[in-house]
């Protein structure tokens, strides 16, 4: 088959499988819809949401210690000796209330509330991370799709150049090596096209894993690769790390929980004070003057003087855990600020570079158009045209590469620290 015929066949097949809207029944999905779909169908996120309910219930359970306990008890009791025996039904209501236990209940409640906040933070973090993962894959797909289109355009242009060289060769104006040069480029571009198609399929599979198997492969990301500019200063983002970073907040909450656990452990050194009351048919040994219905009430204080060093060991462990978590919290803040500052400065650099590449692409296109016109007049040869077209293709790809590099760097900051990176979008003359 002639190269032009082979090219037409390959391009026709690829166009039928990849063109926007070419496949019947394809579901087109925008980036926000994809993120919402992922959050609604991700089992890991749902598990963390259930964990929030678990910790909320644990907090309610810890607060139950502040209330009195009321109940009823009943049965049948027999007591006696070889010569005498007494039996009676037993049934009474009772109430117990712990008045003081060294503030253990209060500190356990604070710790439970900290764990609840920690679970909420982890759930929000997981939701944000999933949304950002989908966003990154989504834009990576659009980037690869744009590169695929650029390569397909270059194949089409190369086919036109090849035809022109064949005509010039028939007139004796071009050599066989000129012809071979364009045929080799055709083969290289087709190989790159196939590789890009494979990368598109792999990205879509990664999206399916996050969006849920119900959606399947019958969807197509819709949109354009944005040209974003960073807004805000480095200092403003460092302030956000202190105020809004979930990672820093989680480290701080963990330290707060350890402090509450330490205070609760110190309750072992303090006395306990309880009040108890019973009324009804009490056990035989507790009845007043043998009366069937009686009552008992009292206040009981207890103080464990020796616990086999358990109290001191638990206190020492709690103190060590607190020091560990406080150091981790400080390191999380310092490390977060350093990483965010580095990431923001990287975004600032990419912003400048992508603006330069937008101009370079326009220059490369003008160079190609001018070289092609001069080739038509016989001033330039085929190698000049091929080189100019290659330069134009590389400029288009380089601009898109910088765009996706900016997006990935932005998402990396937002994913690690859950702080919003503010951007403004510019409209390019070239897509």
**How far, CA to CA in Å, does 307 sit from each of 97, 102, 269, 303, 320?**
24, 16, 10, 11, 21
| Residue given tokens 């897509």 in the structure block | 431
Tokens of 199: 């990368």
What is the rounded average pLDDT of the residues 171-176? Answer: 75
Residue-wise burial string across 61-83, b where 16 or more C-beta atoms lie within 10 A, e elsewhere? ebeeeeeeeeeeeeeeeeeeeee
pLDDT value for 6:
42
What are the tens digits of pLDDT across the range 387-426?
A: 999 999 999 999 999 999 999 999 999 988 888 899 998 8
Quote the mean pLDDT of the chain. Answer: 85
Angle at 178 between CA 173 and CA 183, to 5 degrees: 135
Rounded to whole angstroms, how far apart are CA atoms 424 and 228?
6
Per cent of the chain over pLDDT 70 is 92
pTM, to two decimals = 0.74
pLDDT at residue 82 tops 50: yes
Burial class (CB in 10 A: 0-12, 13-18, 19+), 27: exposed
Angle at 348 between CA 347 and CA 350, to 5 degrees: 60
- Asked if 41 and 209 count as a contact pair (C-beta separation under 8 A), the reply is no
pLDDT at residue 177 tops 90: no
Q: Model confidence at 41, in pLDDT bands (50, 70, 90)?
A: confident
| Residue given tokens 């134009």 in the structure block | 392
Angle at 55 between CA 51 and CA 59, to 5 degrees: 170
Residue-wise burial string across 242-265, b where 16 or more C-beta atoms lie within 10 A, e elsewhere? eeebbbbbbbbbbbbbbbbbbbbb
Residues 6+ apart with CB under 8 A from 61: 112
Q: Model confidence at 214, in pLDDT bands (50, 70, 90)?
A: low
What is the rounded average pLDDT of the residues 226-246? Answer: 88
Rounded to whole angstroms, how far apart are CA atoms 350 and 344?
10
What are the tens digits of pLDDT across the range 23-38?
A: 556 788 889 888 888 8
Q: Model confidence at 213, in pLDDT bands (50, 70, 90)?
A: low
| Residue given tokens 């600032």 in the structure block | 348
Rounded to whole angstroms, how far apart are CA atoms 314 and 332?
27
pLDDT at residue 149 tops 90: yes
pLDDT value for 428:
66
Indicate the range of 58-72, 112-126, 214-228, 233-247 predicted with least confidence: 214-228
3-state SS string for the chain = CCHHHHHHHHHHHHHHHHCCCCCCCCEEECHHHHHHHHHHHCHHHHHHHHHHHHHHHHHHHHHHHHCCEEEEEEEEEEEECCCCEEEEEEEEEEEEEEEECCCHHHHHHHHHHHHHHHHHHHHHHHHHHHHHHHHHHHHHHHHHHHHHHHHHHHHHHHHHHHHHHHHHHHCCCCCHHHHHHHHHHHHHHHHHHHHHHHHHHHHHHHHHHHHCCCCCCCEEECCCCCEEEECCCHHHHHHHHHHHCHHHHHHHHHHHHHHHHHHHHHHHHCCEEEEEEEEEECCHHHCHHHCCCEEEEEEEEECCCCCCCHHHHHHHHHHHHHHHHHHHHHHHHHHHHHHHHHHHHHHHHHHHHHHHHHHHHHHHHHHHHHHHHHHHCCCCCHHHHHHHHHHHHHHHHHHHHHHHHHHHHHHHHHHHHCCCCCEEEECCCCC
What are the tens digits of pLDDT across the range 274-309?
A: 899 999 888 888 888 878 888 888 888 888 887 778
Per cent of the chain over pLDDT 90 is 31
What are the tens digits of pLDDT across the range 100-129?
A: 888 788 888 888 889 998 999 889 989 999
| Residue given tokens 């070889």 in the structure block | 82
pLDDT value for 191:
95
What is the rounded average pLDDT of the residues 33-45? Answer: 86
What are the tens digits of pLDDT across the range 180-196?
A: 888 899 999 999 999 99
pLDDT at residue 7 tops 70: no
Domains delineated in the chain? 3-79+86-426 (1.20.1600.10)
pLDDT value for 18:
39
């Amino acid at each position: 088959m002639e190269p032009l015929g082979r090219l037409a066949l390959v391009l026709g097949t690829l166009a039928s499988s990849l063109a926007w809207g070419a496949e019947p029944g394809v579901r087109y999905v925008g980036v926000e819809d994809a993120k919402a779909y992922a959050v609604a169908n991700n089992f890991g996120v749902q598990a963390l949401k259930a964990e929030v309910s678990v910790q909320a219930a644990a907090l309610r359970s810890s607060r139950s210690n502040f209330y009195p306990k009321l109940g009823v008890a009943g049965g049948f009791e027999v007591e006696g000796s070889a010569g005498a025996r007494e039996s009676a039904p037993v049934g009474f209501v009772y109430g117990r209330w712990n008045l003081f236990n060294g503030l253990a209940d209060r500190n356990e409640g604070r710790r439970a509330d900290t764990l609840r906040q920690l679970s909420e933070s982890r759930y929000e973090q997981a939701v944000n991370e999933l949304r950002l993962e989908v966003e990154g894959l989504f834009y990576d797909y659009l980037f690869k799709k744009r590169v695929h289109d650029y390569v397909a355009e270059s194949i089409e242009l190369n086919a036109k150049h090849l035809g022109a060289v064949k005509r010039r060769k028939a007139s004796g104006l071009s050599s066989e090596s000129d012809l071979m040069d364009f045929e080799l480029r055709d083969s290289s571009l087709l190989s790159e096209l196939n590789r890009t198609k494979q990368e598109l399929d792999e990205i879509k599979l990664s999206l399916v894993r996050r969006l849920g198997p119900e959606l399947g492969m019958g969807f197509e990301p819709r949109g354009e690769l944005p040209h974003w500019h960073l807004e805000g200063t480095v200092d403003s983002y460092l302030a956000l790390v202190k105020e809004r970073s979930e990672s820093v907040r989680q480290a701080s909450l963990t330290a707060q929980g350890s402090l509450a656990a330490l205070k609760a452990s110190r309750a072992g050194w303090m006395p306990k004070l309880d009040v108890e009351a019973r009324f009804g048919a009490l056990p035989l040994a507790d009845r007043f003057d043998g009366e069937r219905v009686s009552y008992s009430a009292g206040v009981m204080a207890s103080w464990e003087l020796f616990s086999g060093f358990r109290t001191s060991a638990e206190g020492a462990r709690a103190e060590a855990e607190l020091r560990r978590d406080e150091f981790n919290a400080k390191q999380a803040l310092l490390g977060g600020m350093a990483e965010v500052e580095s990431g923001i400065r990287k975004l600032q650099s990419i912003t400048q570079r992508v603006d330069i590449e937008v101009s370079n692409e326009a220059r490369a296109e003008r160079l190609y158009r001018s070289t092609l016109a001069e080739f038509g007049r016989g001033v330039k040869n085929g190698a000049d045209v091929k080189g100019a077209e290659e330069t134009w293709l590389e400029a288009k790809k380089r601009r898109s590469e910088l765009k996706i590099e900016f997006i990935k760097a932005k998402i990396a900051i937002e994913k690690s620290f859950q702080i919003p990176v503010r951007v403004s979008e510019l409209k390019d003359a070239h897509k």
